[in-house]
Amino acid sequence: MSQVSIRAVRPDDKERIVAAFRALDRSSVYLRFFSYRKQLEEEELRRVTECDGVNEVVLTATAASVDGEIIVGLGGYVRSGAAADIAFAVEEDFQGRGIASRLLRQLATIARANGFTQFTADVLAENAPMLAVLRNSGLRMRTSHEQGVVHATLFLTSRGCP
């Protein structure tokens, strides 16, 4: 089993991110993007790799391979008003190893340091593993459901309400 490291995304990660996206199963792409896609748009790729580290943060989960470092997961947030929208993707062979949970913990630490008090996430109701990550995060959570999508709000402070 490969050791997985978490680090901030870098501009030179573009090719590794494209390769990671191509390695995802069709069902994982659907669960992450709510649609089937064959590739990332150039603007999406630029935005992910050139985030500002405050209002937009992306972390990578990496593992060593014979070809060098590969990206096996991504997690990030983007400011949305006073909150930050979060999203994750982990390659299937690495799911169930706590990678999304590690990414979420580190993103929460960064978000708190940048003044955020809430994360929000829209998760397809059928995405039980991601919902479990959010539920088991240790953060207080409020959810609502609409048309097969669970809208989750995670509270990053001890104040606030679920």
Report yes or no on 148 lying in a domain. Answer: yes
The pTM for the full model equals 0.86
Instruction: Give dist(CA 87, CA 55) in Å, integer.
Output: 14
User: How many domains, the chain?
Assistant: 1
pLDDT digit string, tens, across residues 110-162: 999 999 999 999 988 888 888 999 999 999 999 999 998 899 999 998 654 44
Instruction: Give dist(CA 10, CA 1) in Å, integer.
Output: 25
For residue 43, give its domain range: 4-155
**Strand ranges for the chain from DSSP E:** 4-8, 56-65, 68-80, 83-90, 118-124, 140-146, 149-155
Report yes or no on 161 lying in a domain. Answer: no
CATH value at residue 86? 3.40.630.30
Report yes or no on 131 lying in a domain. Answer: yes
pLDDT digit string, tens, across residues 67-117: 788 889 999 999 998 899 998 888 888 888 999 999 999 999 999 999 999
